[in-house]
Structure 1
Amino acid sequence: MNWKVISDNIKQEKRIAFLFIDEIHHLYHFVTVAKELAKTNKVHILTYNSPNPLLYKLLKDIKAENVIVEELPTYTFRALTDKLKKKKIPRKGFWIKKNTRYILNNFDAVVFTDFFHKYLLKDRKQNSPKLLKFPHGTAGRAYAFKNNELDFDFQLLVGKFQYDQFKNMGLLGDFPVIAGYPKIDAVQQIPQQEFFTNNKPTVLYNPHFDPEFSSWKKDGLKVLEYFYAQTEYNLIFAPHINLFKGNQNKNTITTIPEHLFAADNIHIDLGSEASANMTYTRAADIYLGDVSSQVYEFIIEPRPCIFINSYDFEYKNDFSFRFWKCGPVINKIEDLMNSLEEVQKDFKNYKKVQERISAENFYNEEGSSPSERSAKAISAFLNGSLEMLEL
């Protein structure tokens, strides 16, 4: 741990706002911390009108009765154009501008899981409220490391690897706290599911949404057709939740032929709750992907992985492809059959690598959970009792 509490006698109640104006996968990264903070503080989740029902369901599931949800409007005209454009989530910049004064005047701290903070940063006085940054996943490629990190007064980090990368890139603020991965707390009570009635190995295909790196555009349908035509494996196709959202790559459900949805050995989920809460990473025996950092959640329990390098990236000395150390990398789908056979036989060669990477990624500590440690550090920070230790 890189921090300690100077005084445990923290009694001053603070008003803390968590912003939820994103897709559902952001929820799991902060709800359990909100629950812990609400034991000693006034905690609000500020969201848009008629948010995804998962917000309320998840708060009920984790018994976060003390957390207050406020549904705040966007500008009337923008709400109308959002409706015409069939946007379920209001445009974030307009929503924040509409509610800036309320947020600035009513909270001691505001928590972000993404970078939509510039309006509050510009308009706040005397560095109040404090701006806190949570990650919404494990740090993967270089895009996860942005100079905007330095805009925040407090950074919640999940492990030593993220801390070291931030330090090397000059992205550590004054209060970068390593506390672990709160999402683990949010999903641990979800029962593990079975999706197939046979005993065949199940492969999870999890392509990323970024068209520059994703295997989907070039090879995705080849992967699905490969599993449709064979009889040895089951397949869960659960891509990054944004692959089939909006206009990303012009992907729609009609991109996928109907016979694939009807296959007994293929389960397709293009963005449900299960695709965001580790249901599939827990259910699969083998991971098949490209650059999604979800693989880091998969290898919490070490298992075979295969990666598709659709665009022949030079990856071996690039930390952005660090996850490709967890299994073999193939350049063409024709190599998939042999790779599936070999990766199960040779997994011992990768197991220690996966265990090392997981230890670097996720801080653990006996006697407390990531959410408890996060809440304790935030309360201490807001009360001036947090001391940072040099690592």
Structure 2
Amino acid sequence: MGEASFGLWRSQGAQASGSAAFLFFGELFLIPHLLPIATALARTPDSPRITLFVITTIHEEIIRDAVERLGLTEKVRIRRALGFRHFPAGCRDMPDLPPKLLVLALNAPAILRHDVAVVAERTSLWLPRVARRLGANFIYNEHGAAPHANFGTVRNRFATRILMPGAGMAQRVRDSGHADAPIELVGYIKRDFIREISGTGTLPPFKEKRPTVVYVPHWLQGKSSWWAMGEQVLDHFARSKTHNLILAPHIRLPEVDPEFASTIRPYLRSPNIHIDSGSFRLIDQSYINGADIYLGDGSSQVVEFAEHPRPAIFLNPDHVDWRTDPRFSHWTMGDVIGDIADLDGALAAAPAAIERYAPIQRAYVERMMGADDGLSSERAAAVVLEVIAERQRRHGWVPLQSRAAAEVTARA
């Protein structure tokens, strides 16, 4: 849709119901943390005009398929952002993205004319800072559920609302230098994506039926076991007669490690190792939900894994004092080892250890992700309506009647 048609559509009654932009400019793993808010908003009475800005054909196809499946094609508009990139039809691998700040600059006029812009990554919060709060109010939804949420940088002060899944995540934001953060606890949005939109796939077939370990190394070196121990992990399982392995790294790891392809190459034909370096199955919890044992480090995906308590093992090759570092509080959910020589013992002990760790996992999941009552996206949508109403009142516009907010409050 071009600028002219967008402007005409915006002018037809926008003051009555408002308008909301959802920005899909980042990696594919952000889609599950953002799209369910848009679809929940589309289902509310007096729903605002909703525009989903997409940056690649892959984003576009995933989102269009979901919108059509939910019967919401008449309620939302999908718009190709300036800087849009094309990929082969049906591709679901992580695309090469244009620089996000450039995309924001190119699309700023179209974004800022909305009442609200909803995002799931913090780079976009530079836009309201530069615009000095002219135009759209920005709402940020935290992606992931690990304890590394950090809101100390200046850009984070320009979100009108910060949506957080659980009280533990909210406390990490306050502890990181934003004590007055405008936080709304809504629950873990990605749950709704898995439940309503994507589902999860099955595990890859292995030649031998054995317990399956999913190894999820983080992409940031300061929280990752990959650079110090990743190759040792692959070598260990290539020789294993007791376990299968799925290497399911954070989707950004292959991008930031120039040696990733050469590291995995010797193991691509190992019959008990499956390596996924960029498909959507790294996002839709196919591996997380299907594996028997979790092996990882700083990734928040262990919290998703622990929703259904199972053994978890954490790799600490740098021997960080994790008990005093809040970024690693999720390591309380399993055994922590610092040497590859200890992995066999940890794997052998895992089935019995889960009896001890299961209550810890359940409590941690609720603290970081919130309880799963099926209303997370609806609560987030109610916050969007509330911010639109506030903005309209400030500008003397017709107030938005947020009946949906009252309904969600009554049911929660």
TM-score by length of 1: 0.85
Provide the residue aligned with 1:214 in structure 2: 224
2:387 is aligned with 1:377: no
> Could you tell me whether the CA contact under 8 Å between 2:149 and 2:169 is conserved in 1?
no
CA apart distance, 1:278 = 1.0
2:108 is aligned with 1:100: yes
Provide the residue aligned with 2:242 in structure 1: 232
Provide the residue aligned with 2:25 in structure 1: 21
Stretch of structure 1 that moved more, 161-170 or 177-186: 161-170
| Identity over aligned pairs, percent | 27
2:257 is aligned with 1:249: yes
CA apart distance, 1:337 = 0.4
1:254-293 deviation line (CA, Å, top 9, x unaligned): 32134x2222221110121000111111010100001111
Distance 1:298 1:147, change over 3 A: farther
Q: Tell me which of 59, 77, 91 is aligned to 2:67.
A: 59
2:158 is aligned with 1:151: yes
Counting only pairs closer than 5 Å after superposition, residues 132-281 of structure 1 correspond to structure 2 as: 132-141=139-148, 143=150, 146-171=153-178, 173=180, 175-189=182-196, 190-196=199-205, 198-245=208-255, 248-258=256-266, 260-281=267-288
Whole-Å Cα distance in 2 between the matches of residues 365 and 345 of structure 1?
Answer: 27
Whole-Å Cα distance in 1 between the matches of residues 355 and 145 of structure 2?
Answer: 24
Whole-Å Cα distance in 1 between the matches of residues 84 and 382 of structure 2?
Answer: 36
Whole-Å Cα distance in 2 between the matches of residues 178 and 224 of structure 1?
Answer: 39
Whole-Å Cα distance in 1 between the matches of residues 151 and 285 of structure 2?
Answer: 20
Q: Tell me which of 342, 350, 359 is aligned to 2:357.
A: 350
1:36-63 deviation line (CA, Å, top 9, x unaligned): 1123121111122545443333434444
> Could you tell me whether the CA contact under 8 Å between 1:308 and 1:330 is conserved in 2?
yes
Provide the residue aligned with 2:8 in structure 1: none
Structure 2 counterpart SS, 1:310: coil
Provide the residue aligned with 1:336 in structure 2: 343
Structure 2 counterpart SS, 1:274: helix
Stretch of structure 1 that moved more, 154-163 or 52-61: 52-61
2:294 is aligned with 1:287: yes
2:146 is aligned with 1:129: no
Distance 1:306 1:211, change over 3 A: same
Distance 1:49 1:319, change over 3 A: closer
Whole-Å Cα distance in 1 between the matches of residues 127 and 36 of structure 2?
Answer: 27
Structure 1 counterpart SS, 2:318: coil
Q: Tell me which of 113, 119, 131 is aligned to 1:112.
A: 119
Structure of greater relative contact order (alpha carbons < 8 Å, 6+ residues apart): 1
**Structure 2 residue runs without a partner (length 5+):** 1-14, 86-94, 391-401
Tell me how many residue pairs correspond in the alignment: 362
> Could you tell me whether the CA contact under 8 Å between 2:121 and 2:140 is conserved in 1?
yes
What code does the residue aligned with 2:193 have? A
Structure 1 counterpart SS, 2:184: strand
CA apart distance, 1:231 = 1.5
Distance 1:238 1:288, change over 3 A: same
Provide the residue aligned with 2:81 in structure 1: 72
Distance 1:43 1:321, change over 3 A: same
More helix by share: 2
1:171-224 deviation line (CA, Å, top 9, x unaligned): 255642101011001012514413235542110000011123311112111111
Structure 2 counterpart SS, 1:22: coil
Whole-Å Cα distance in 1 between the matches of residues 232 and 151 of structure 2?
Answer: 29
Whole-Å Cα distance in 1 between the matches of residues 70 and 351 of structure 2?
Answer: 36
Structure 1 counterpart SS, 2:139: strand
> Could you tell me whether the CA contact under 8 Å between 2:166 and 2:186 is conserved in 1?
yes
Distance 1:280 1:146, change over 3 A: farther
Whole-Å Cα distance in 2 between the matches of residues 146 and 298 of structure 1?
Answer: 30
Q: What's the Cα RMSD here? A: 2.5
